[in-house]
Amino acid sequence: MATSKIVAPLCLMVLVFGLCLPKAQSQDVCAGVERPDPETIPCTINCFVPDPVCGTDGVTYSCGCLDAFCHGVDVVKEGEC
């Protein structure tokens, strides 16, 4: 019985932290990618190798972080939405 009193709060902490984790990871997904000047958005992106990322708008940007940034969107995760 004492174990369940300890495990339940730990499970809740893992669940809450797990829900917050994608936001923390999204910052790392685009680490080192410079955001374009807001005056140049939308900007032209030409990519030779697809590098899909999922934007906060639920759209997959096939040319990576810069592609999403040029559309004025933050990135949620690597890969397709």
CB neighbour list of residue 41: distance below 8 Å, 6 or more residues apart: 69, 70, 71, 72
* pLDDT given for residue 40 in this prediction: 82
Per-residue pLDDT tens for 41-55?
Answer: 888 888 999 999 999
Sorting pLDDT into bands at 50, 70 and 90, what band is 12?
very low
* pLDDT given for residue 6 in this prediction: 54
Rounded Cα gap, residues 69 and 58, in angstroms: 14
Angle at 69 between CA 34 and CA 47, to 5 degrees: 85
Here the tokens at position 79 are 């890969």
**Domain residue ranges of the chain, discontinuous segments joined by +:** 3-78
| pTM of the complete model | 0.63
* Length, in residues, of the chain: 81
In this structure, of 3-7, 11-15, 29-33, 62-66, the range with the lowest mean pLDDT score is 11-15
Mean pLDDT of 55-75: 95
